[in-house]
Amino acid sequence: MTDAPRLIGRKEAAAYCGISMTCFSMWVASHKMPPAIAGTRKWDRRAIDAKLDEISGLTPPQVSAAPAAREHDTFETWKRKSAERDKHRPLHNLDAREERVLRFMIAHAEYPTTDAIPQAGEKTMNALSRVGVVRPGGKDRRGFREWLVTEEGRAEIERTDTWRNWKF
């Protein structure tokens, strides 16, 4: 007794799956079944078996263990990258307004007074001064206090940008 041939035509493949030829053609078109072998109009019986097993949820034991290991590896990779990202976490808990004011001051050093900085008042500047990202300077010719960005302020914005734009 000889084994059935491994390569089978569309009609035999449809019969092998227990469906009509039209249905088999639709399954091939929707990638539920593998395509015909290139250059022929024949299908590999083992490839059809593998797809049927996949559709029915049957998988070999070594394949079913791999996703769990992959998930563990993915989690470990994420944990390692997250720990690397945490090194760049901003040190000062600046709210949105304080951060916006600090960014403006870095970008526009020619406007050191609160009247020239959008949404900055004495309260905001005092809060920034308390954490050490700005320091008070002298007074300008109009009598307004000038504020200067410290190196820590520049470093804080750099850390914030790195933290927010981190690519995992």
pLDDT confidence of residue 167: 77
Q: What is the pLDDT of residues 41-57, one digit of tens each?
A: 899 999 999 888 888 87
- Could you tell me if 42 and 9 are in contact, meaning their C-beta atoms sit under 8 angstroms apart? yes
- Could you tell me if 6 and 45 are in contact, meaning their C-beta atoms sit under 8 angstroms apart? yes
pLDDT confidence of residue 9: 92
- 96-164: CATH topology is Arc Repressor Mutant, subunit A (1.10.10)
Q: What is the pLDDT of residues 95-124, one digit of tens each?
A: 999 999 999 999 999 999 999 999 899 999
**Least-confidence region, from 26-40, 58-72, 125-139:** 58-72
Compute the distance between CA of residue 119 and CA of residue 104 in angstroms, rounded to an integer: 10
- Report helix, strand or coil for 164: helix
Where are the domains positioned within the chain?
7-56, 96-164
Provide the whole-model pTM. 0.54
